[in-house]
Amino acid sequence: MPITIADVAARAGVSKTTVSRVLNGKGELDASTVARVRLVIDELGYVPSARAVSLARGRTGVIGMLVPSLTWPWIGEVIQGAVDVVESGELGVMLFTCNQGDESMRRFASQVNAKAFDGLLVIEPEGTLDYITELHTGGLPVVLIDDRESRPQFASVATTNRAGGRAAAHHLLETGRRHPVVVTGKLGFGCVTERLEGFAEAFEQAGHPLPAEAVLEGDFSIASGHAAVARAVADGVEFDSVFAHNDLSAAGAMQALREAGIAVPGDVAVVGFDDVECAAVTEPPLTTVHQPLRELGATAARLLTAHLGGEPLPAEPVVIPTDFVVRSSTAPKS
């Protein structure tokens, strides 16, 4: 039988409340009482559960993390960055996904109501921002890992999607490419809007406005990148470069080009976005916009854990810039 707090109280001749106060350093207790309780704890080998101690202190010692899905190719890096920080602070992470839509959100809400965690990190599932804002307004500390141009009413960590799109455009222009096609993600996503606008603005400023037919909607998958570029080839669209809104669709685009006998980068240069692990091992290796994925998660976690330690959350978004990685899928046009 495990030793309980009641066993300690009985042996020491005090109440369970007194034992709890000794364990948590709460209340004014006589020094001899404290010494007696601690001696009994040592004699009996009593080990309080971490959760019991945390609850007694008014904290769970757990950070909640809400994400849309674990199937997104970059999301694991963001989560790992957050987990590294949280666990280094001897806290735990409770992860929630929205794979089952409303049912998933109902389960998440039940844990919110049960106060199962002390604060929340969010990669916003579509359509939940108003609810997350309500949680923040109601007193739950929240940090959003954001991919939109519109910023929330609470702390957030973001990256520079628009600047990333511009960097891709400038690189293609510098290599002599004047006729790109863009394989987007879903057009309703804020990150897609920013990447497309940044890219299009740079080409327009260079005197090469992007025609509407050069924008090919995808869904961030390999299949959508393949289908979009295969369709452009079949339709006779003339292009010398592809800017894909993520690395998976860029890999699909390169596959379609190979199948059509079009050389990369000799005939068509290809640029992706994210710099996930597979980008360095595509054939050829992919030039891409590097998102600071792990750093986004780590920064958000640092802000939240520091806040739980008494520091204020920032009023303005913390922005971590993208970078540009040149590999063999782009080269000067011959």
Q: CATH no. for residue 24?
A: 1.10.260.40
Judge whether 18 lies within some domain. Answer: yes
pLDDT of 208: 97
Domain co-membership, 103 together with 170: no
Range of the domain at 130: 62-159+293-321
pLDDT of 63: 95
pLDDT of 54: 55
Judge whether 188 lies within some domain. Answer: yes
Side chain identity at 77, as an amino acid letter?
Answer: E
pLDDT of 99: 83
CA dihedral for 175, 179, 181, 182, sign (positive or negative): positive
Judge whether 326 lies within some domain. Answer: no
Judge whether 108 lies within some domain. Answer: yes
Judge whether 70 lies within some domain. Answer: yes
pTM: 0.81
In which residue are the tokens 């992706």 written?
272
Q: CATH no. for residue 170?
A: 3.40.50.2300
| CA end-to-end distance (rounded Å), the chain | 79
Domain co-membership, 37 together with 154: no
Judge whether 331 lies within some domain. Answer: no
Domain co-membership, 149 together with 298: yes
pLDDT of 166: 98
pLDDT digits (tens, 9 = 90+) for 273-286: 999 999 999 999 99
Ranges under pLDDT 70 in the chain: 1, 25-27, 48-58, 147-151
Domain co-membership, 284 together with 167: yes
Query: Which residues, in sequence order, are CB contacts of 49 under 8 Å at separation 6+?
Result: none
Judge whether 334 lies within some domain. Answer: no
Quote the CA–CA distance of 172 and 194 in Å, as a whole number.
18
Domain co-membership, 205 together with 253: yes
Pull the structure tokens for residue 152: 């929330």
The torsion angles phi and psi of 266, rounded to 5 degrees, stand at -55, -50
pLDDT of 32: 86
pLDDT of 53: 55
pLDDT of 69: 85
